[in-house]
Amino acid sequence: MSAFFGPLDCDRRVLPRQQTRVAAFLISAHGALARQYAFTLPAKLEFAWQTEINAQVFRETEIVSLLLRATSWVPDLTLGYLAASWETAWLPAPVEAIPDPSLAMAAGLATLAHAVHAGIRPAALLPVDANADDPFVMALRRIEFESGRQLQAQILLLKGENLAPFRDAVSAILERRHTEIGRLWGDALTGVGITTVPAE
Amino acid sequence: MPFLTHGSYRIRYELDGPANAPTYVLVNGLTQYAELWAAYRDALVAREFRVATFDLLGQGASDKPALFIRQDDQVAALHLLIGELGDGPLFLSGISFGGLIALRYAIEYGQRLAGLVPMSCFAELPPQLLLLGNALRTGLILGGTSYLQDLLLPMNVSDQWLKPVLDKLDSVKRQGWLVNDVYALQNLMESFLDFEPLTPRLPSITAPTMILNGEFDFLTPRALHETLRVQIPNSSLVIIPHAYHAFTLEKPALTADLLARFARDVLAGNWQGNKAVWIAPEEAGGALAPFPGGYDHLRAIPTQGMAS
């Protein structure tokens, strides 16, 4: 068990089995975010901050499209079971402590997006000698970089004045989201020989 | 890998050296992790010190709170670690952000300390440092951890250190990039958004204090260390020649030697701060020289007249 992809093939590419598992997880997560942001995107923007929802929809869609095309797919018989548990975890979960339903929904979505964008670092799985010209390698680097940028919208909302009265509740839910999604990510990787637990 | 528990968070720490020896606790700066003190562990343990290192909340293998990291929590985590170390003589040193946490600890729990060594440190955020911090945070937000490292490296170390690694900077940065997360670094940087200057509280630090400042540190320049020297009663300022902000990385043998000598002098009752200004030797083991009388140590050109 290693903290990185490997062994690489003779062209220093990530093995298709590992590509498939990681890409499936990321497509599931970012696809869910794309769908949920798309549902909250109004046909006509009324506030400046809504421009960010538009950006999130298309960045998430771009990530899904990129992975579909950059991954060397192979059959993975456990994906059916895993995908079911992943999709369950992404289900919308409004923050119950917030009385305003739309704000509660927005905060819930932001906790999910924060956990995905901040907690999932696919590029950190790449070993030093991974082939930089490989599209899958480039895709993972791009996704991690873009996630860091997208994350700012979630940080602004979750740390913002609107949620200040609910800070403890939001923080607790966010920590839970991080733990839950980190566990799903860890389980997905363990099945293809990668560990997210630091060596003793 | 042992951990302490602070609330719902875990703090990774490491102890080396004999349990009954005088102890040095070393506190990381931003983007750092405990392994970066390895040379200090070796040097100080060889000189019969115990050494405690740890990862700050939000860094390394310690937990990374998702939304907020308060500096008070860092002090509480440090207090927790120090509580594990028994009642023997304790010396506390920190670099940059870690130096600030060490200062805060010394203000809160100064009676526990035999000595304090703030390095590349500050007690307030004057406009230059505030704006540099804001720019670094923006760099992190827009360009990620790697870009923050790109900004910090040339600011913090010398050409002599950089030149041999110029064609392998990615490998130099890799471990720091791996163990640090954008959101956690951002939380650490945003812990300054409600920062109140420590300057009015510095006179309450009674522990012997040796302030270390790199000669060419322009991230936290001499004036910021001068505030510490003037305000902390039993202090002296030691200028590290040819050094930048991250001299702990660049000059570990010299810095570890200075730490050991300071602790030995304090324990032997020979330490006198006197708010003096010293120049460190170029190499470990050399003699410290007093800053030349009649010249202003805050200036980069030899200007007569000491700063008050």
What pLDDT, in 10s, does the model give residues B240-284? 999 999 999 999 999 999 999 999 999 999 999 999 999 999 999
Nearest to B183 among A144, A151, A198 (CB): A151
Position B304 scores a pLDDT of: 77
Give the number of domains in chain A. Answer: 1
Q: Does residue A144 lie in a domain region?
A: yes
Q: Does residue A182 lie in a domain region?
A: yes
C-alpha B76/C-alpha B109 separation (Å) is 11
Position A48 scores a pLDDT of: 85
A55, A47, A64, A24: which is closest to A185 by C-alpha? A24
CATH number at residue A76: 1.20.1260
Other beta carbons within 10 angstroms of residue A4's beta carbon come to 18
Write down the pTM of the prediction: 0.94
Nearest-Cα residue of chain B relative to residue A178 = B66
Kindly indicate the confidence band of residue B1, based on its pLDDT and cuts at 50, 70 and 90: confident
C-alpha A151/C-alpha B264 separation (Å) is 48
C-alpha B31/C-alpha B181 separation (Å) is 9
Position B82 scores a pLDDT of: 98
Position A23 scores a pLDDT of: 98
Q: Does residue A4 lie in a domain region?
A: no
Nearest to A151 among B171, B178, B182 (CB): B182
Q: Does residue A173 lie in a domain region?
A: yes
B195 touches chain A (CB under 8 A): no
Nearest-Cα residue of chain B relative to residue A120 = B181
B301 touches chain A (CB under 8 A): no
- Residue B285's region, left for phi above 0, alpha for psi from -120 to 50, else beta, is left
C-alpha B253/C-alpha B258 separation (Å) is 9
C-alpha B156/C-alpha B63 separation (Å) is 26
Q: Does residue A24 lie in a domain region?
A: yes
**Amino acid present at B263:** A
Q: Do A200 and B61 touch (CB under 8 A)?
A: no
Nearest-Cα residue of chain A relative to residue B61 = A198
The greatest distance separating any two alpha carbons of chain B, rounded to the nearest whole angstrom, comes to 55
The per-residue pLDDT for range B65-124, each reduced to its tens digit, is 999 999 999 999 999 999 999 999 999 999 999 999 999 999 999 999 999 999 999 999
Percentage of residues of chain A with pLDDT beyond 90? 92
Mean pLDDT score of chain B, rounded to an integer? 96
Q: Do A155 and B186 touch (CB under 8 A)?
A: yes
C-alpha A35/C-alpha A18 separation (Å) is 26
Q: Does residue A31 lie in a domain region?
A: yes
The per-residue pLDDT for range B281-296, each reduced to its tens digit, is 999 999 999 999 999 9
Kindly indicate the confidence band of residue B180, based on its pLDDT and cuts at 50, 70 and 90: very high
User: How long is chain A?
Assistant: 200
Q: Does residue A73 lie in a domain region?
A: yes
On chain B, the residues whose CB falls within 8 A of the CB of A121 are 181
Position A200 scores a pLDDT of: 45
On chain A, the residues whose CB falls within 8 A of the CB of B8 are 175
Instruction: Say which residue the tokens 């890409």 belong to.
Output: A23
The mean pLDDT value for A124-139 works out to: 97
Q: Does residue A8 lie in a domain region?
A: no
Q: What angle in degrees, to the nearest 10, is found between the helix axes of B127-156 and B182-190?
A: 140
Q: Which domain holds residue A100?
A: 16-190
CATH: 3.40.980.10, 3.40.50.2300, 3.40.1280.10, 3.40.50.1820. Which one for B3-127+191-282?
Answer: 3.40.50.1820
